[in-house]
Amino acid sequence: MATAYIFPGLNALIRKSDRNRFTHLPEVQSYFTKAEDIIANRFGKKFSFKEFLELPTEEIYSIQNISLAAVAICAIQAGVAERMRELHGSPDWVMGCSLGDLARAVFAGAYTFEDAIYNHIHFTQRIDGIDQIGRNIGVLAPKGETFSEEDYKWFDEVAVDVSCLTPRFLNVGGRYADLGKVEERAKEKGWNTMNILDYPAHSRYILPYVRAVESDFAEVRTYRPQIPVFSSLSAQPLEDPTLIKEEFLLSITRTIHWSQAVQKLVNEKGITRFINIGPCRSLSGLMRDIPVDVETKEAYELMN
């Protein structure tokens, strides 16, 4: 049975039950300790993930805490993936969705955990004002319907950037006024909309923040992965350390092609089972609307 581990993104900590699902694992505790040491030694800040994960959701996801939320997710996912490998052996492929790329790169050996934590916090210290540009919304077509070529053409004309997570669910990033047009069209078309992030991730509007750290990013070290990595941005295998570094830098400006990447893993790489590393189940939910015949399991189900 060919298996791929999949790593969810930033929404992994929204529910308290998800936050606490794996915190008892010694592997997760070890990564928390490593991250706390990095934060103390390199940023001069005493920090406790145990206390952080007890905060209200809106505080965890505030702009000033967003990098720490990302670090918490990476630590949890890296620990869970390590435990899964100990129990069941290495997967055939790994793939992350948005922020999930951080942990999948660490687990695959393309990026050290220490560099991942330091660089993520360091490079997100310059995001003041990012929430003044725009945001991300989810757009869901009615059951049994999918978005048409005409719809995608209209999104282009409105100047929003569309990540296709499934044929009927899109993550749309853009400026506030442009997203207002999307929400109006949604009412006409019978689409449901929901707020996802209070800044426009995976859109062209993040590019100025990326350019501001581009020269510093040249010092980031990446390595050829020890476990095959599949990109949900390009929907292609990702092997070259230079390309991995480039994707780290530009990932927040590029749209996600999750549905296409899942189908390619199944149809071209022979994947028959996806294991959702979690801690949330968002990617498992998406799988129901992607036209593939595969088994999807939760990591916690395989640890019992």
Same domain flag for 162 and 245:
no
Same domain flag for 20 and 99:
yes
Q: What is the mean pLDDT of residues 141-153?
A: 96
Same domain flag for 8 and 57:
yes
- Considering 197, 213, 238, which residue would you say is the last residue of a domain? 197
Percent of the chain scored above 90 by pLDDT?
85
The DSSP code sequence of the chain is --EEEEE--GGGGSSHHHHTSSTTSHHHHHHHHHHHHHHHHHH-----HHHHTTS-HHHHTSGGGHHHHHHHHHHHHHHHHHHHHHHH---SEEEE-TTHHHHHHHHHTSS-HHHHHHHHHHHTTT-TTGGGTEEEEEEEPPTT----HHHHHHHHHHT-EEEEEETTEEEEEEEHHHHHHHHHHHHHHT-EEEEEESS--SSGGGHHHHHHHHHHHTT------SS-BB-TTTSSB---HHHHHHHHHHGGGS---HHHHHHHHHHTT---EEEE--SS-HHHHHHTTSS---EEEEGGGG--
- Considering 181, 197, 213, which residue would you say is the last residue of a domain? 197
- Mean pLDDT lowest for which of 22-31, 92-101, 142-151, 214-223? 214-223
pLDDT at 64 over 90: no
Same domain flag for 124 and 138:
no
Q: What is the mean pLDDT of residues 99-118?
A: 95
Same domain flag for 216 and 273:
yes
Same domain flag for 253 and 190:
no
Same domain flag for 140 and 124:
no
Same domain flag for 160 and 291:
no
Same domain flag for 154 and 74:
no
CATH number of the domain within which 155 lies: 3.30.70
Q: What is the mean pLDDT of residues 167-173?
A: 98
CATH number of the domain within which 268 lies: 3.40.366.10
pLDDT at 249 over 90: no
pLDDT-based confidence at residue 218 (cuts at 50, 70, 90): confident
pLDDT of residue 212: 81
- Considering 180, 197, 214, which residue would you say is the last residue of a domain? 197
Same domain flag for 53 and 193:
no
Which residues constitute the domain of residue 272? 3-129+204-302
pLDDT-based confidence at residue 123 (cuts at 50, 70, 90): confident
> How many domains is the chain built from?
2
More confident of the two residues 213 and 253: 253
Same domain flag for 70 and 100:
yes
Same domain flag for 258 and 156:
no
pLDDT of residue 250: 85
